[in-house]
Structure 1
Amino acid sequence: MNPDKPTYILWLPSWYPNKLEPYDGDFIQRHALAVSAFIPVHVVHFVRDKGKIITNSVFVEEKKTGNLTETIVYYSNQISSRGIIEKISSVGKFRSLYRKIIHDLFLKKGLPSLVHVHIAFKAGLVARWIRKKYAIQFFLSEHWTIYLAEARPNFKDLNYFKRYLISKIVKDASKVFPVSNYLGQAIRKRWPDVSYEVVPNVVDIKVFYPGERSVDETCHLIHISNLNYQKDPEKLFRAIKLLKAAGFKFFLDVFGTRNESIKSQINGYGIEDVVTFHQEVPQRILAEHLRNSDALILYSRYETFGCVIIEANACGIPVIVADIPVMHELVRQNENGVLVSPGSAEALADAVINVFNDRKFSKQNIVRSAKLYSYAEVGKLIFDEYLSLGTSNSG
């Protein structure tokens, strides 16, 4: 990219906030905001409206915030029957739609300096077509747990068609940006020739910042996740049961999905009086809850990063996490959190008691650890990667 010829970067995310899923890929949107401080970014995101809630055909909405333009394209399939015919029709509509949308964008705005894909499938299909037709290179950012061997599901669980297409996308990318080295190594195990550079997630320090709260004898804990297999809710709630049985004074705020399985666990452990569930909320509200907590718990089986960790740290509170490989990239033992032996409710319960009773963490040091993930730091990192490509695709 030629820094002397200002242009724009086309972002093609597979996940992105939209009317049907307001929080889907919100971490990618934060990346876009960070980068737009350095160069104009135009996001184009395609959303299949299976239930025809937004449209019976095609609906395009556009929003501009400073240097960031977001175009969300909703589309539905005219064929309502399920099966191979409907799938073929949907694929065909997506293919013709993205070609028209991108063609019209380029006519109106000119060619971008380069394309940046977030999550290979299926936005990477659009990037490969642009690369072939317009000779514009693309970068690929990855957050997806699918590449981790321990994940459920993982790459081998995808059908052959998806595995084939993802392989093509990864191989064609000029560079891959995993959000952690652990994820980068997992990708490289499958594609040894991949060139990658770690680009972590970001935290908005204008929203997540430390506050003051009075210290009392009750420990305020918080957990933020969708409570699926990856997050190991059973061990979390077993630890809560142990804490209650030990007479430890606490309560836990959970921001996540409360399905029937989770309800059954809560009732079975008899902890409904110390656990409060909340729906997904805007970040400013989540930040308030973090500031009023003593510690965040994220006791996952596996992760590629952990946005809630840097958000908690930005608010000045320590994190209690499972001692899995990726956490060593984010957590320094007894500085901004504690690493706990994985798979043990007893170890987790002990860690909670120790963190609360010791109160040995320096809020200033915790907050400092999160500044590495600010919009300014990560936005500049991505912009420098754009500049390093050293070519301009304009004209």
Structure 2
Amino acid sequence: MRVVMLSWEYPPKSVGGLAQHVYDLTSALIKEEVEVFLITCGSPGAPEYEQVNGVHVHRVHPYQVSSPDFVTWVMQLNVAMLERAIPLVNDLQGVHVLHAHDWLVAYTARALKHAYQLPMVATIHATEYGRNHGLHNDIQRHISDIEWWLNYEAWRVICCSHYMENELRRVFQIPQDKLKVIPNGVNPESFMYKEQGFSRDTYAAPDEKIIFYVGRLVREKGVQVLLDAAPDILTREPKVKFIIAGKGPHEGALREQVNQMGIANRVYFTGYISDQVRNALYHWADVAVFPSLYEPFGIVALEAMAARTPVVVSDTGGLSEIVVHGVDGLKAYTGNSRSLADNIVPILRQPQLANTLVENAYRKVLRDFGWRKIAGQTKTIYEEVLEAYKTSAWHGQPERQGWIFDRFSRFLGKY
């Protein structure tokens, strides 16, 4: 099985959770005897080509032309990806499946699909409609149209939760038999705490309990709800430090919120942190809190569970499917700061409850969210799509388009 995969994120370029997802999935697919050729966006200092755990990683850079907006930049990235993909597919002479991650690679995926008449699988990690609770301007509607287009062109669509499955059916009218739910996964060994010279005293006083959030600082992640809950929590548990790790466009508003509430001495914005510091903070934290307003899956909750940190999440999206309330975590009403406080405080006060949640959560991670299992499910989809493709009118008829793209790639090579 030979797959060309497209993703705009891959380490070291990491904006959200997509980079880690693609890294773990591709590494696990290699163990399932799937040959993976990944085309992704470049990053300063990263090689244009390297093998990572057996994965052939090709990095490209968008054209160095000014971009008036992000959508234009995405188009420039896609043209650069296509320039790399054309000679790659020609040289391989035997690609079985294309796999595209989200709308940011839709143009490249669609062009390769039709030029070489190959089956294409798409994974949709989130939607513009869901992120914004609707479509409110022309840019959002444009991105949503591209998402619809990618779903339409895909032979099969993978999503990470039943919540996302329902969203895709509702927003894009995707037929049920085209959708497949495969959850995200986590490698517990990646979240083991190791003594590396970090000090807990850097982040909190010895007598302070730690409430930890890590993730992008965007409105849909709900950090503002956690801050709204802080006075209630501090009234009941005065010795608490809120550690907010990550960066994003909502950071300024969150800092202003903290200042207006008069709790700046109780909140530590760390900015970006390394994986080693993240693991240390999980180890020191008394509870990890993820109060998202919109969350297609919620990989951070799995990571906290793998790190053996008790979790409190909002009862929404994929988070609601990961956590069983009172068994392996606690769930609060979405957007409700009082409910959030009411679920955080018991974990701070009851060590036995925290320990029970941690042990149950860790067992669930090992049982249900291993990447080897997820890669096997993904490979099965590749095989099903390939089998259907072989009986279609497309199979065995890529010669004309392949010849055209071969001539085009030679032309690009000259200039």
TM-score (norm 2): 0.79
Indicate which of 31, 52, 58 corresponds to 1:65: 52
- Whether the 8 Å contact between 1:210 and 1:316 is mirrored in structure 2 is no
Matches within 5 A, 1:255-270: 255-257=245-247, 259-270=251-262
Specify the code of the residue in structure 1 equivalent to 2:100: V
**SS in structure 1 at match of 2:264:** coil
- Whether the 8 Å contact between 2:119 and 2:386 is mirrored in structure 1 is no
- Whether the 8 Å contact between 2:13 and 2:41 is mirrored in structure 1 is no
Higher helix share: 2
CA displacement 1:153-176 (0-9 Å, x = unmatched): 645645455444332221121111
Aligned partners of 1:141, 1:82: CA distance in 2, in Å? 28
- Whether the 8 Å contact between 1:15 and 1:118 is mirrored in structure 2 is no
Structure 1 residue 270, shift from structure 2 partner: 2.0
Indicate which of 43, 48, 56 corresponds to 2:38: 43
Task: Give the number of equivalent residue pairs.
Answer: 371
- More off after superposition, 165-174 vs 10-19: 10-19
Aligned partners of 2:320, 2:15: CA distance in 1, in Å? 31
Q: RMSD of aligned C-alpha atoms?
A: 3.2
Structure 1 residue 303, shift from structure 2 partner: 0.8
- Whether the 8 Å contact between 1:60 and 1:74 is mirrored in structure 2 is no
| Partner in structure 2 of residue 366 of structure 1 | 361
| Partner in structure 1 of residue 119 of structure 2 | 137
- Whether the 8 Å contact between 2:158 and 2:179 is mirrored in structure 1 is yes
Structure 1 residue 18, shift from structure 2 partner: 4.8
Q: Is residue 2:221 matched to residue 1:234?
A: no
Structure 1 residue 112, shift from structure 2 partner: 1.6
| Partner in structure 2 of residue 224 of structure 1 | 214
- Whether the 8 Å contact between 1:16 and 1:23 is mirrored in structure 2 is no
Structure 1 residue 233, shift from structure 2 partner: 2.4
- Whether the 8 Å contact between 1:32 and 1:41 is mirrored in structure 2 is yes
Aligned partners of 1:158, 1:222: CA distance in 2, in Å? 37
Aligned partners of 2:180, 2:18: CA distance in 1, in Å? 24
TM-score (norm 1): 0.83
Q: Is residue 2:20 matched to residue 1:26?
A: yes
Aligned partners of 1:168, 1:90: CA distance in 2, in Å? 15
- More off after superposition, 277-286 vs 170-179: 277-286
Aligned partners of 1:68, 1:331: CA distance in 2, in Å? 32
- Whether the 8 Å contact between 1:18 and 1:72 is mirrored in structure 2 is no
| Partner in structure 2 of residue 204 of structure 1 | 187
| Partner in structure 2 of residue 385 of structure 1 | 381
Give structure 2 stretches of 5+ with no counterpart: 196-205, 399-415
Matches within 5 A, 1:133-172: 133-148=115-130, 151-152=131-132, 154-155=134-135, 157-159=137-139, 161-172=142-153
Structure 1 residue 90, shift from structure 2 partner: 8.6
- Whether the 8 Å contact between 1:290 and 1:315 is mirrored in structure 2 is yes
Give structure 1 stretches of 5+ with no counterpart: 1-6
CA displacement 1:318-342 (0-9 Å, x = unmatched): 2111122433310011121101122
Specify the code of the residue in structure 2 equivalent to 1:26: Q
Structure ranking higher on relative contact order (CA contacts 8 Å, 6+ apart):
1
- More off after superposition, 268-277 vs 202-211: 202-211
Structure 1 residue 20, shift from structure 2 partner: 8.6
CA displacement 1:291-312 (0-9 Å, x = unmatched): 2212110111121011110001
Structure 1 residue 248, shift from structure 2 partner: 3.0
